[in-house]
A = this chain, B = another copy of it.
């Protein structure tokens, strides 16, 4: 393995979340698929924003949430993702750097504005997301800095990027650089709609490039076209070196060849908003991994980080996550 100076580099869409509380009737009225992430165009985003209640803005994005969580745990990380040189882009850039994450992706100076995700949180703490990708789809292979990727022990890639040609090229370039430097590649499936749209692409990308796969139950079942979770799990054991499968309140299952762990979720007094649960699970898991902890300990760290994030509104940590970790 080459000399690495970073623990983790995350690559994903750079998004500002706009969160509001709403009820099921609003989702029905606006024809929103509860619990899902749906891509919308600028017009649809504008129309829906007009219907939306007063909102709170917080930096978001899946891999960027993971990186903020990773830094909060004490990890040394960088994020690669694209914003425009507008006010929301300024907010995103500020927040990720203020969270302790290195962020040097050049800003887009023309084209679509910074991406935003309208998030509707219902009383059952479910979140329904409508994302306008804006400037984030301008991320391309030219934004992948070879030196940066090669310097990171693990490169973490967000499946959401697969939705654009340039994002896909960026992911593949990064994966090749990481492998060439003798480092690890991690990938999250991000959403079942992506899996359905790009199943064969995903399977061959995973086989060719991925060492550590993250997926939730719905995503992994869609990927391997299985009947149930156990069936998914049996298929997944053969897909890559490590698979971490998350199951909400049922915890997670880790498969690494013959080594299997079934780990409980962290106890949470009250689930307030599940936004970011998967992102923070990955943060905790990869923190443990880059600290050379065993896989069960990695999964426990994932559970702890996810538990913190779902106990409040928003997908970035409110308290330093390092304080939640058990002593080494």
Contact = CB atoms under 8 A, between A and B. Distances in A.
Interface string A54-87: 1111110000000010000000000000000011
A56 B54 contact: no
Contacts of A95: 54-55
A283 to B, nearest CB: 15
Contact of A57 (B21, B58, B86, B98): B58
Given A49-B94, A87-B87, A87-B88, A59 B54 contact: yes
Contacts of A54: 59, 68, 94-96, 98-99, 316
A231 interface: no
A98 B20 CA distance: 11
B98 A52 contact: yes
A109 to B, nearest CB: 16
A278 interface: no
A138 to B, nearest CB: 17
B68 A318 contact: no
A10 interface: no
Nearest to A89: B87
A113 interface: yes
Nearest to A113: B87
Nearest to A55: B95
Nearest to A94: B49
Nearest to A314: B56
Nearest to A19: B56
Interface in A88-103: 88, 91, 94-96, 98-99
A233 to B, nearest CB: 36
A267 interface: no
A257 interface: no
Contacts of A180: none
Given A87-B87, A87-B113, A318-B21, A94 B56 contact: no
Contacts of A114: 87
23 contacts: A18-B91, A21-B318, A50-B94, A52-B94, A52-B98, A53-B98, A54-B94, A54-B95, A54-B96, A54-B98, A54-B99, A54-B316, A55-B95, A55-B98, A56-B56, A56-B58, A57-B58, A57-B91, A86-B87, A87-B87, A87-B88, A87-B113, A87-B114
Nearest to A88: B87
A227 B114 CA distance: 53
A98 to B, nearest CB: 5
A274 to B, nearest CB: 18
A121 to B, nearest CB: 11
A60 to B, nearest CB: 11
A165 B298 CA distance: 60
A49 B54 CA distance: 24
Between A49, A54, A86, A91, the greatest number of chain B beta carbons within 10 A of the residue's beta carbon is seen for A54
Nearest to A95: B54
Nearest to A319: B21
